[in-house]
């Protein structure tokens, strides 16, 4: 069975038969969303708790989730109940919860509104193209020195990169758009400026979803900031700080990190970072 509905679309495209695809698409989207929804919400709740020092009120959580129309109080209560029953959270009072000691949340990538707007515009125009979107703000919590610049990254299947470049220039003419730049090109045209950088999406990249958009998982972000030219300003001591803080405060999959690093041809770089930071508690 194809891995996802995008694979089905590509098969239909290859055989010039879209009838079956269009019949199955609503069902496939429904199944995917129903499977992903509980897991995504569970991780969001754990991440929310971690951001609030480990403890929070249910009302605060509901206020945070209110913007998502698919989330209701009953589903949140059910998930909180399961988290308590499985020992991942404890109930500390009426409508009050806390993370169990030692539990670390996943590092969830949550793009800011500007990056979300870019992603939504691209998804509306190219609903069947495989891409993800994120921005440099996602690593700010792990940094010592925060730059006053925002970089939005769009990773898209390689043969669609020129199309996305043209579309972004048309839709966001005021932005600097850089298609798969070298380090020299980035320093020439994007250094110190807010910009949108487009890269080919590496196959088997670890991806997640947020508000209907594909976003990278932590392991992809960590590898990308260590090797992408637009993040050269982080690739001194700062990248070691980011890795160390991320491993200490979040649940990071080392096998997934190294698997993606191999796909990007950067295993030596990532191994060097891992061997020079204190993550002994994760070994």
Please report, rounded to a whole number, the percentage of residues in the chain having pLDDT higher than 90. Answer: 46
Q: Which residues fall within 8 angstroms of residue 260, CB to CB, at 6 or more apart?
A: 202, 204, 205, 206, 219, 220, 223
Q: First and final CA of the chain: distance in angstroms?
A: 36
The label of the residue with tokens 């440099």 reads 136
Tokens of 45: 């709740």
Give how far Cα 190 sits from Cα of 37, 46, 153, 209, Å: 37, 36, 13, 28
**What tokens were used for 73?**
């109080």
35 confidence band (pLDDT: 50, 70, 90): very low
- How many whole angstroms separate alpha carbon 107 and alpha carbon 121? 25
| pLDDT value, residue 68 | 63
**All residues at 6 or more sequence positions from 196 whose CB lies less than 8 Å from its CB, including other chains:** 118, 151, 152, 153, 154, 168, 172, 175, 176, 177, 178
Q: Summarize pLDDT for 84-141 with one digit per residue, the tens.
A: 888 888 888 888 888 777 777 778 888 999 999 999 999 999 999 999 999 999 898 8
pLDDT at residue number 10: 52
Q: What local confidence, expressed as pLDDT, does residue 257 receive?
A: 96
Q: Which of 155-164, 213-222, 259-268, 273-282 has the lowest mean pLDDT?
A: 273-282
Could you tell me the pTM of the whole model? 0.72
Average pLDDT, the chain: 83
Q: Which residue has the higher pLDDT, 4 or 44?
A: 44
pLDDT over 70 percentage in the chain = 82
């Amino acid at each position: 069975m194809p891995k996802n509905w995008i694979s089905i679309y590509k098969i239909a495209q290859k055989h010039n038969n879209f009838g079956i695809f269009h019949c199955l698409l609503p069902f496939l989207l429904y199944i995917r969303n129903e499977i992903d929804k509980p897991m995504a919400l569970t991780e969001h709740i754990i991440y929310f708790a971690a951001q609030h020092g480990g403890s929070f009120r249910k009302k605060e959580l509901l206020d945070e989730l209110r913007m998502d129309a698919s989330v209701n109080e009953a589903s949140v209560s059910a998930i909180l109940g399961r988290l308590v029953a499985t020992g991942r959270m404890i109930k500390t009072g009426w409508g009050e919860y806390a993370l169990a000691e030692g539990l670390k949340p996943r590092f969830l990538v949550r793009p800011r509104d500007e990056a979300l707007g870019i992603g939504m515009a691209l998804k509306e125009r190219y609903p069947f193209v495989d891409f993800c979107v994120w921005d440099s703000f996602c690593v700010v919590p792990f940094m010592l020195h925060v730059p006053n610049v925002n970089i939005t990254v769009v990773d898209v299947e390689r043969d669609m990169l020129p199309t996305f470049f043209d579309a972004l220039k048309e839709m966001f003419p005021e932005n600097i758009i850089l298609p798969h730049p070298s380090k020299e090109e980035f320093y020439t045209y994007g250094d110190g400026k807010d910009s949108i950088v487009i890269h080919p999406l590496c196959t088997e990249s670890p991806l997640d979803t947020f508000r209907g958009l594909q976003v990278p998982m932590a392991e992809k972000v960590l590898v990308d900031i260590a090797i992408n030219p637009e993040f050269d300003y982080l690739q001194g001591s700062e990248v070691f700080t980011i890795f160390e803080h991320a491993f200490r405060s979040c649940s990071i999959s080392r096998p997934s990190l190294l698997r993606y690093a191999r796909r990007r041809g950067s295993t030596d770089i990532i191994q060097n970072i891992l061997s020079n930071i204190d993550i002994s508690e994760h070994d």
